């Protein structure tokens, strides 16, 4: 039940954003664009220890298998939850919300290089921790 309202808002936003990604094409080659997913994975592993020491649960999802794969990292505490979703296209959604509130702050980014994603992830982490994450 925890984060139920948050999850519903995140899911409906994600589904609305991802509706065109319902066809899987095994011959699609994403090797050139995987830099965003690799950056997300390495950032998560570099930051996991410090975040967990601060009482934050860190969850890295598995990459999706759509024509436009995506992956996300979720930070959660008993009072807050946040998530960053990134697609190989460079599209990125950042969501942060309080468990006690139905409001979810969502921001969209169109990234062009991996360093932009690192900046988004660092700002997400800092904001989550500063808000009592």
- The DSSP code for 74 is E
Phi, psi of 18 (to 5 degrees): -105, 10
Residue 85 pLDDT > 70: yes
Which residues pair with residue 84 across a beta bridge? 73, 94
Residues with Cβ within 8 Å of 131's Cβ and at least 6 positions away in sequence, in order, are 80, 96
On whether residue 92 sits in a domain, the answer given is yes
- Find the domain containing 54 and state its range: 4-17+31-130
On whether residue 44 sits in a domain, the answer given is yes
Contact of 74 with 59, CB cutoff 8 Å: yes
On whether residue 70 sits in a domain, the answer given is yes
On whether residue 26 sits in a domain, the answer given is no
Structural domain count of the chain: 1
d(CA 65, CA 53): 32
Mean residue pLDDT across the chain: 82
Residue 23 pLDDT > 50: no
Q: What is the pLDDT of residues 38-81, one digit of tens each?
A: 999 999 999 999 999 999 999 999 999 988 999 999 999 999 99
The DSSP bridge pattern shows strands 91-98 and 70-76 to be unpaired
**Angle (nearest 5°) at CA 10 between 8 and 15:** 95
On whether residue 25 sits in a domain, the answer given is no
| Predicted pLDDT at 101 | 87
> pLDDT-based confidence at 129, cuts 50/70/90?
very high
């Amino acid at each position: 039940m925890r984060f139920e309202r948050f999850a519903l808002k995140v899911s409906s936003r994600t589904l609305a954003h991802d509706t065109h990604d319902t066809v899987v094409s095994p011959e699609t080659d994403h090797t050139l664009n995987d830099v965003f997913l690799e950056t997300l994975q390495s950032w998560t592993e570099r930051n996991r220890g410090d975040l967990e020491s601060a009482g934050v649960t860190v969850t890295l999802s598995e990459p999706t298998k759509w024509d436009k794969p995506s992956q996300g990292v979720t930070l959660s505490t008993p009072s807050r939850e946040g998530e960053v979703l990134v697609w190989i296209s460079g599209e990125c959604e950042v969501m942060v919300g309080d468990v006690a509130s139905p409001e979810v702050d969502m921001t969209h980014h169109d990234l062009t290089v991996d360093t932009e994603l690192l900046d988004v992830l660092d700002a997400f982490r800092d904001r989550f921790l500063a808000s009592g994450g």
